[in-house]
Structure 1
């Protein structure tokens, strides 16, 4: 199959590189100039696994304005707040016959993608896999080959032939996909997962394993999971996991699969970038308000992350002033 990854950061590179290794033709499109130029200079991207065995993997990378490819499927992995602008820059090469597939964190991307792709061409999912972009042209796949799992569903909840072919290619690339027919419930399971692990690890600057090792972690996780599930029930979302299964997922990924991993929200905060908290905990708050429910814990955490962002921006300005002095 032919894929084009739009948003070639940590997760975009992981999906694209592994699909390429599985025998597919893959192009990469990105808007971050230092990243694109570094990969062109190197002739590809340096890929490590758990900080070891670093090797250069050849990739074809383009800016949106110069891309002329015709893939079967686009894979979108931008940050939520960047997606609208990226889609606008890419829309000239989208065609009605092409599919859109995404496993982006948070919620808000589906509505934006539907402005460019027909409902029957949209497939979305969630990925429980850890990846770190060390810098321009340098990515680290966390976990052994074949580690991690993912779920995906058609927006129409009616899998077609292309969907099954996509699942086959994802299986070859060892993403361990599970196809469901519950679109919103599938996506919300990862929102709830991230609303616990991403947010708390970011606030306290710790790995997933360090959080899970805290004796009060289960109580904290349950409070956030229960409040999120209360929101989803009021919104009529049928979740793919029970509350206990969601807690079990948090613990397994944190303690067994990726205990040394700092979540993507932490990476954004640490590198002075805006976080996606409004599309994770903030989304649950918004969905709750729409259904006459106050998700107070998630609202409090959303404010806490924004306060931390303000402090990080203050720190950045201080560091810049010291360098200029």
Structure 2
């Protein structure tokens, strides 16, 4: 079949690569426009744009799927559109322009966690399962019938970034299988069942650590906000980032937010139990080993706000 593939971040690259290696023809790749990256704000192609160029695929860089893009794609006469985290809405007439419409790869077991941040929301909520869905795109937000809709476990120490990377690899194979089934006329879509939940995009506040919560909930906040928007607390009135932590079996009694070095481990108290800080970033400094940071404090204990 003739395919249009739309996507922007790293999570969409495995699907692009899998479809490029398949028997189908990618007639266009759509990704968002180059954006400034880093402190120097260097204009940089999206991961999907960069990979499409490496693969020699025709590329359309746009932040809006407007009339101009619709006209371009209409001329290509695609059989199917495939979208993975593009970052924009496919509206009519583009929605039904391909012969078979569009399919979308989504990283949850629908209808749970419809929306922009299904992986992060699942980890933040302390859940033990995420999922993969390939569904027929329609006007509603992630509401279409599913060709694939299955659960995937969340590792006990997996961050949102690690989980998303794993699901992106697994989901790419599901997309190819779905495209193959559609090409053969054998694909069957099933209406979603269950109570929907919404996975809104995360903001900085979602990564703010409340040390009054129990250790598991604090750990879920840190993992769910890693790498974006980042988990943080307050120290001496400034933002203090926590890049990595882990569970601790230590019996040390610490107040919520109290930090102490115990047998070489930097422990921080929560509402119930302690966590070990592994990698942190004080305001205005680079990320560093937590023990190195604490030794530099030259204090018996430190209190996070």
Provide TM-score, normalisation by structure 2: 0.36
> Which structure has more strand as a fraction of its residues?
2
Larger Rg belongs to: 2
